[in-house]
Amino acid sequence: MKTVILAGGLGTRLAEETDVRPKPMVEIGGYPILWHIMKHYAHYGHEEFVLALGYKGDVIRRYFLEYSTFRSNIRIDLRTGQVSLDERTQAEPWIVHLVESGSGTNTGGRLLAVKPWVADGPFFLTYGDGVSNINLSELLEFHRSHGCIATVTAVRPPARFGALDLTGDGVTEFSEKSQVVEGWINGGFFVFEPEIFDYLSSFDDSLERDALARIAAEGQLRAFRHDEFWQCMDTLRDVRMLEQLWQSQRPPWKMWPS
């Protein structure tokens, strides 16, 4: 199945990083977070990607245009100027479609922009700024079992602050940075049927407010609950935390072999 990644947002809360590159190109462990997301899908056998570009999309275009060159051994014949890549280089066996969707386009509009590439069957979609250890095979099986238009992965992210249970002015329990106990949020990692496009009509549409809200009201949206690792990259604090996890022996979202 094809995987759509929304990779065109501004990333305003990461201004220090996104002044010169789009948010999906902010690096974790020397690789853009976009690469980490794609490695996750490829691990489950989904190796064709449709990237909806927008803000500083040229940076993403250049990255993939030069991907093989910078990850290969290169032979240069100085007499003729002929350049060839070493056939022994282990390149990613991916197909990547780079689709311009506009710098100010809303999420629904970005999906509309890639419709010609994915409207022939079910497809994955996620945001270009979050990593997880979701079992994508189980997610797809869950989606197929319900026969609905859309499935969203529901997550409970770690709390940013320690939790206190109080009785009067006494603390009965102290839980430092515990997971959120109640409430699920949209974690991305969707599965959509082509009928999702029936709920989008304009490049100003929001995927979440205009399409998914209506689909949910019609009983056509299901939630795949994932209570293990999930983390979005909204702030510099998130970048530093993900970098620390990557440098650890077992980063929780790295499911592919080294």
Domain that holds residue 51: 2-247
Neighbours of 104 (CB within 10 A): 12
Asked if residue 112 is part of any domain, the answer here is: yes
Nearest CA to 105 out of 195, 203, 12 is that of: 203
Q: Residue 45 has what DSSP assignment?
A: T
Residue 258 located in a structural domain: no
* Amino acid present at 167: T
Q: Which residue has the tokens 């996104």?
A: 18
**Distance from chain centroid for Cα 32:** 11
Q: What are phi and psi of 53, to 5 degrees?
A: -90, 155
Determine, yes or no, domain membership for 65: yes
Answer whether residue 146 is part of any domain: yes
Q: Is residue 256 part of a domain?
A: no
| pLDDT values of the chain reduced to their tens digit, one per residue, 258 residues | 999 999 988 766 666 666 778 899 999 999 999 999 999 999 999 999 999 999 999 999 999 998 877 777 788 889 998 888 776 666 788 999 999 999 889 999 999 999 999 999 999 999 999 999 999 999 999 999 999 999 999 998 766 655 556 666 554 555 555 555 557 889 999 999 999 999 999 999 999 999 999 999 999 999 999 999 999 998 899 999 999 999 998 999 999 987
Q: What is the CATH number of the domain that holds 39?
A: 3.90.550.10
The pTM for the full model equals 0.88
* Type of residue numbered 150: A
The rounded distance, in Å, linking the Cα atoms of 177 and 179 is: 7
Give residue for tokens 């959120």.
Answer: 180
Does any domain span residue 71? yes
User: Domain for residue 252, yes or no?
Assistant: no
The encoded tokens of residue 27 equal 């690096």
Number of domains, the chain: 1
Alpha carbon distance 19, 52 (integer Å):
19
Q: Are 243 and 28 in contact (CB under 8 A)?
A: yes
**Residue 176 has what pLDDT?**
54
Burial of 142 (0-12, 13-18, 19+ CB in 10 A): middle
Does 195 map to a domain? yes
Give the separation between CA 69 and CA 85, rounded to whole angstroms. Answer: 7
